[in-house]
Amino acid sequence: MKRVLILYSTVDGQTRHIAERLQARLEAQEHQVTVADLARGGALLAEADAVIIGASIRYGKFRPALFDFIRRHQGHLERLPSAFFSVNLVARKANKNTPDTNPYMTKFAKLSPWQPNLLGVFAGKLDYPAYGFWDKQVIRFIMWITKGPTAPDAVVEYTDWGQVELFADRCADL
Ligand SMILES: Cc1cc2nc3c(=O)[nH]c(=O)nc-3n(C[C@H](O)[C@H](O)[C@H](O)COP(=O)(O)O)c2cc1C
């Protein structure tokens, strides 16, 4: 049994949902799992045998708090078996849904001084009714360019939960 810490950086909650699915899968394999917001992560690292961090993308970027956390805790992160996953809508496309083909993972590899043992990419959720006016217009425009849904009331969860569970199993083997 391992003590696994899963930290998430989310705005609308999908990265947290994925973290919770990872938790359920790992707990079913008898691991002891703590899921927390990245902001609370520093205090929890000392109790972990392995760490998984997940972060979503907004307007092409991870939030700065992600890299602040990594820089602050780099030494500790490097001593633990570790995984990182990104959540974004570009990953809904079959040719952009792996760590090698997703542009944000390439970006992560360049920007992060911590290189985790395992990487994952998951498509997120599109939820126009939850967005503010301007965000909604911008995302609809991006979806129009990339041939996605543009109906103002569209809600589409692209996350492949089977892939999430497979990732949990690979994390268990770290
Ligand atoms: C304002 C806004 C900007 C976004 N920008 C991007 C983007 O640049 N690239 C992308 O692939 N997905 C983008 N997304 C999609 C999110 O990454 C996706 O909805 C994800 O599920 C959000 O995860 P979260 O709920 O954990 O924050 C954006 C979503 C919103 C609301």
CB-neighbour burial class of residue 19 (10 A; exposed 0-12, middle 13-18, buried 19+): buried
Other CB atoms within 10 Å distance of the CB of residue 174 = 17
Mean pLDDT of 74-102: 97
Backbone angles phi, psi at 144, to 5 degrees: -65, -45
Atom 19 (ligand 1): residue with closest C-alpha? 125
Any idea what DSSP says for residue 29?
Answer: T
CB-neighbour burial class of residue 26 (10 A; exposed 0-12, middle 13-18, buried 19+): buried
Report the atom number in ligand 1 closest to the C-alpha of 13. 25
Q: Evaluate whether the domain defined by 3-124+159-172 bears CATH number 3.40.50.360.
A: yes
Q: Please report the pLDDT score of residue 7 as a whole number.
A: 98
Instruction: Specify the residue for token string 């998430």.
Output: 8
Report the atom number in ligand 1 closest to the C-alpha of 57. 17
CB-defined site of ligand 1, < 6 Å: 10-15, 56-60, 87-90, 124-126, 131, 135, 139
The answer to whether 62 touches 93, Cβ cutoff 8 Å, is no
Report the atom number in ligand 1 closest to the C-alpha of 61. 8
Cα–Cα distances (Å) from 29 to 7, 32, 57, 172, 173, in that order, read 19, 9, 30, 8, 11
User: Per-residue pLDDT tens for 3-60?
Assistant: 999 999 999 999 999 999 999 999 999 999 999 999 999 999 999 999 999 999 999 9
Helix runs in the chain, H state only: 14-28, 41-44, 64-79, 103-111, 133-145, 161-172
User: Per-residue pLDDT tens for 109-158?
Assistant: 999 999 999 999 999 999 999 999 999 999 999 999 999 999 999 999 99
Question: Which sequence spans correspond to the domains of the chain?
Answer: 3-124+159-172, 125-158
Backbone angles phi, psi at 80, to 5 degrees: -105, 150
The answer to whether 36 touches 76, Cβ cutoff 8 Å, is no
Mutate to test the pocket of ligand 1, among 89, 121, 145, 146 (most ligand atoms within 8 A of CB): 89
Q: Please report the pLDDT score of residue 1 as a whole number.
A: 85
